[in-house]
Amino acid sequence: MKLSILRRLAVGAVALALGSAAAAATYTVKLAHAAGEQTTFNRSMQKFADEVRQKSQGQIDIKVFHSSQLGGERDYVEGLQLGSVEFAAVTTSTMGSFEPRMSVFSLPFLFRSPEHFDAVVDGPIGTEIAGRLTAKGMRVLGYTDMGSRYIHNSRHPVKTPADLANLKMRVPQDNVPLETYAALGARAVPMAWPEVYSAVKQGVIDGLDNALIFYEASGVYEGAPYLTYGVPIFQSTGLLMVSESFYRKLPDPLKKVVSDAARDMIPEQRRSFRADSSAALERLKSKGVKVELADPAPFAAKAAPVWNKFAAQVGGRQVIDAIDNTGR
């Protein structure tokens, strides 16, 4: 009974604070991301927007722009810095050019399991790296799981690293995957995500890696039907961010609404994304995708030198080792 009364009092206090601190202020803002409208990821972003609208009593109205409607991820990040985009969900591979230490999350074969991922990004390592972005005009509200990335291509099954020889593989505009594919013997082609579908269809690239959900939702499987499963070459780590200039304008009660909504949404985003990834594999098989189950060990061995190559950029080998040792 006491707890129930205290909760009602707390809700009333927040409502009173919202009403008095910013009675005249309302904000209609944008949240940009690249995932498709029907994906679980977009549903998670919409859930975040809905909770912010509800708990701010309509003072913050977030319009979600999915499917790269506002350009590529780099456009979103620059928009956060300029204040023209208030919220964005991007992958850490995009963030390496803005904060070099973010590139640690792009290293190949970095995470052993979803539990390992959660422990790293929610722990001191993830917190410290995220904090570096505040001075650069964006505030991290949480890390999202964007899925294990598997190789798919238009040419032939890839069972071993030798099968990647000379394949033109799309990579994000990030040096880590570029060097990883070079180590594996492929030809890396940097390319923004909105260009990928047509590039596969036209033969500009032979393949790429991506999470199964996005491989399916984008339709890329139609032009690149050979999927190498069991080799999670990268873990796609995401960030939900808010423009620091916008965040600073908010009164404290609204800042709390934003932070609390992100905190509520992130665990559910990870759970739902992981569950749908398993379902996506079965759907892809039914759509004619040719699935090759491969041993990850030879790929990981060939890519291993990439860790040392980028150690200095990401804060030293001790940072990589700290990630590797988390949870052991």
**Closest Cα to residue 118, out of 327, 319, 278?**
327
Q: Measure the CA–CA gap between 250 and 142, rounded to whole angstroms.
A: 19
Q: Convert 64-102 to b/e letters by CB count within 10 Å (16 or more is b).
A: bbbbbebbbbbbbbebbbeeebbbbbbbbbbbbebbbbb
* Percent above pLDDT 90 for the chain: 89
What angle is formed at CA 172 by the lines to CA 300 and CA 147, rounded to 5 degrees? 60
Residue 174 lies in a domain: yes
Per the prediction, the chain carries an average pLDDT of 93
296: pLDDT strictly greater than 80: yes
pLDDT per residue as tens digits for the range 180-228 = 999 999 999 999 888 999 999 999 999 999 999 999 999 999 999 999 9
Residue 5 lies in a domain: no
The 3-state secondary structure of 42-74, one letter per residue = HHHHHHHHHHHHHHCCCCEEEEEECCCCCCCHH
Q: What is the mean pLDDT of residues 267-277?
A: 96
Q: What is the mean pLDDT of residues 17-44?
A: 84
pLDDT per residue as tens digits for the range 128-143 = 999 999 999 999 999 9
What is the pLDDT confidence band of residue 3, given thresholds at 50, 70 and 90?
Answer: very low
Q: Going by C-beta distance under 8 Å and a sequence separation of 6 or more, which residues neighbour residue 287?
A: 216, 221
Query: Domain with 222 in it: what CATH number?
Result: 3.40.190.170
177: pLDDT strictly greater than 60: yes
Residue 280 lies in a domain: yes
92: pLDDT strictly greater than 60: yes
Q: What is the mean pLDDT of residues 24-51?
A: 95
Range of the domain at 210: 22-325
Q: Measure the CA–CA gap between 101 and 105, rounded to whole angstroms.
A: 8
Lowest-confidence segment of 13-17, 104-108, 206-210, 257-261 by average pLDDT = 13-17
The reported pLDDT for the residue numbered 148 is 97
Residue 14 lies in a domain: no
The reported pLDDT for the residue numbered 12 is 52
Residue 164 lies in a domain: yes
Number of domains in the chain: 1
87: pLDDT strictly greater than 80: yes
**Tokens in use for 115?**
């539990």
17: pLDDT strictly greater than 60: no
Residue 13 lies in a domain: no
20: pLDDT strictly greater than 90: no
Question: How many angstroms separate the first and last alpha carbons of the chain?
Answer: 43
The reported pLDDT for the residue numbered 172 is 85
What is the pLDDT confidence band of residue 23, given thresholds at 50, 70 and 90?
Answer: low
Beta bridge partners of 153: 207, 226
Residue 57 lies in a domain: yes
238: pLDDT strictly greater than 50: yes
8: pLDDT strictly greater than 60: no
Q: What is the mean pLDDT of residues 65-89?
A: 97
Residue 1 lies in a domain: no
Q: Going by C-beta distance under 8 Å and a sequence separation of 6 or more, which residues neighbour residue 303?
A: 108, 109, 180, 183, 184, 233
160: pLDDT strictly greater than 60: yes
Q: Measure the CA–CA gap between 209 and 76, rounded to whole angstroms.
A: 22
Q: What is the mean pLDDT of residues 47-58?
A: 98
308: pLDDT strictly greater than 90: yes
